[in-house]
Structure 1
């Protein structure tokens, strides 16, 4: 069969009964919820998907759709490296912006940069402690 004539199977929501979700990298390919393997396009036939479940996850073969739906919810809620770094970088961006704004104010005032350490930093700490009850 020629390269252009190969059939490209699409992920189907019915594959959840075999413990498979669409891959994050390529939505057309399934990812096994149990072993986290991304399966190839050749294995997209239901008989081959069932065979994968039987070979790799024999103890889960008798589980019903409800089990895999619960597993899917847990899988989607789990923390990922990208989500951990994106939330950290957002808070760092805010801190960096605030620091930049303070330095800009000091520079525009024509005062020495040490005023930030001697006056502004203690003032900001006092505001946070008093207004937000943070120490």
Structure 2
């Protein structure tokens, strides 16, 4: 994934980036990109906007248990998949299959959770009457 600087966010530079780096998406409509953005938001945050989706919850559980990050894909995902096959319908099975629990994803999720917790603590300390 490439991070663009603020200077790169100008419309003409974004258009050039799209044409050079993502040739297959040049002819896509604005709705395509809007739906992609919404999909990414749904993957990152849950309805309350605080705790992210299933992969975050599983990553948080792995971190609390101090287990290897690979346990998500090796043990937890197959168990959840089998349970969804037994209890729920096929649609739920497909949703479970789409949950990313690779070692790198779990590490990234744990890092995101840690950063969020740190910022919440800092905000509470700053708002504390004892801080001023």
Normalised to the residue count of structure 2, the TM-score between the two structures is 0.34
Structure with more of its chain in strand, by fraction = 1
Structure with more of its chain in helix, by fraction = 2
Of structures 1 and 2, the one with the larger relative CO (CA 8 A, separation 6+) is 2
Work out which of the two has the higher radius of gyration on C-alpha atoms and give 1 or 2: 1
